[in-house]
Amino acid sequence: MVHALREIWRALTPGGLLLDLRPLSANMPVEVLGVERAAVAGYLDTAPEAYADDRAADAAMATVERDGLFARERDGAFDFLWYWDTPEEMQAFIAEKWTDTHLSEEVLVQTRRLMADTGDNTRVRTSANVIISRWRRLGR
Amino acid sequence: MSLQRDPEETEIKHLRDFADFSGARVLEIGCGEGRLTWRYASAAGWVVGIDPDPARIGVALSDCPPTLRSSATFALAKAESLPFPRETFDRAVLAWSL
């Protein structure tokens, strides 16, 4: 990661900006949305390796900051949401696209139960907490 | 598939709040299929999206809107070995890729 950041520093103009956007590996809720309310059915399982990846990314940014390549200017965070019409569509998407995250059978069953109880016009969603930081390229 | 990703457009609102892309030369690392690229590229001067996955780059190339074809391009590359000269870009975006 540090090598990649050094390459980015090389490709940026002096004073240029690096924007780091990435989701944190935390418990991602599975929520059933009705017309008037949302109910949490459970949480997605996250592999332990994902937490290690978060720490490694933070450490890499700290290294290039310490080395005088970038200066941190601003931090923020927001929720990024995914929506599906059915829990089966959510399950298929997660299985195909997300390597570090798993939807357990228990949460899937609870999601179906909540959707059946909530009635028509329900959807299911999950969300990730995404951090964003702005870094100024230093030096010549 | 009924999937909707970030229909509230929270991500691009934050990105625009954090940096001005007007006329900027932008390198997006981990552009994937261009999901985020399409949301800011029209304001930028020139955008290069890179990703190590050839299938994703193929989708980004084929899905590139006609209005962006002259200002956005995509390449198969890794951040550890960027195929660009020094000081080519004004902005770099790590798109869920660090």
- The complex's ipTM? 0.94
Say whether pTM exceeds 0.80.
Answer: yes
Q: What is the mean pLDDT of chain A?
A: 93
Question: Do B91 and A81 lie within an 8 Å CB cutoff?
Answer: no
Range B13-37 average pLDDT: 95
Q: Which among A16, A18, A81 has CB closest to B6?
A: A81
- Phi, psi of B47, deg, nearest 5: -130, 135
Question: Do B98 and A82 lie within an 8 Å CB cutoff?
Answer: no
Q: What is the mean pLDDT of chain B?
A: 94
Type of residue found at B42: S
DSSP state letter for A37: -
Residue scoring higher pLDDT (A71 or B2): A71
Closest CA to B73 of B81, A25, B83: B83
A21 touches B at CB < 8 Å: yes
Question: How near does any CA of chain B get to the CA of A137, in Å?
Answer: 10
User: How many C-beta atoms surround the C-beta of residue B49 within 10 A?
Assistant: 28
Give the whole-angstrom CA distance, residue B92 versus residue A11.
Answer: 9
Q: pLDDT tens digits for A79-119?
A: 999 999 999 999 999 999 888 899 999 999 999 999 988 87
Type of residue found at A88: E
pLDDT at B4 over 90: yes
Give the whole-angstrom CA distance, residue A133 versus residue A77.
Answer: 9
Question: Do A14 and B87 lie within an 8 Å CB cutoff?
Answer: yes
DSSP state letter for A27: P
Give the whole-angstrom CA distance, residue B51 versus residue B35.
Answer: 12
Question: Do A80 and B29 lie within an 8 Å CB cutoff?
Answer: no
